[in-house]
Amino acid sequence: MSEKEIFDKVVKILGPYVRNEAGLKDIEHKTNIVTDLQVNSSRLVDIILAMEDEFDIEIADEEADKVETVGAAVNLIKGKIG
């Protein structure tokens, strides 16, 4: 799976949890999930679970704590699926 495909799937997963809809239009790798997209920190758990399901991977708590940007999520997933 290409990085672009992973990025697009991550954006799709984030969609329902984003409070800043305008932030979704300009989303890029450096976009901060909590501050730029205004995702409630408690919803990050739901997002991590959705990523695990979508990509058939397991994300450890320590890894999840490091997912602050869209790019960090993409890189983590890319590393896990090869």
Which CATH number goes with the domain that contains 20?
1.10.1200.10
Q: What is the pTM of this model?
A: 0.93
Sequence-distant (6+) residues with CB within 8 A of 68 are 32, 33, 34
Question: What is the number of domains present in the chain?
Answer: 1
Reduced to 3 states (helix: H, G, I; strand: E, B; else coil), residue 19 is coil
- 32 DSSP β-pair partners: 69
Residue type for position 78 = K
Range of the domain at 41: 3-81
pLDDT (tens place) for every residue of the chain, 82 residues total: 999 999 999 999 999 999 998 888 899 999 999 999 999 988 999 999 999 999 999 999 999 999 999 999 999 999 999 7
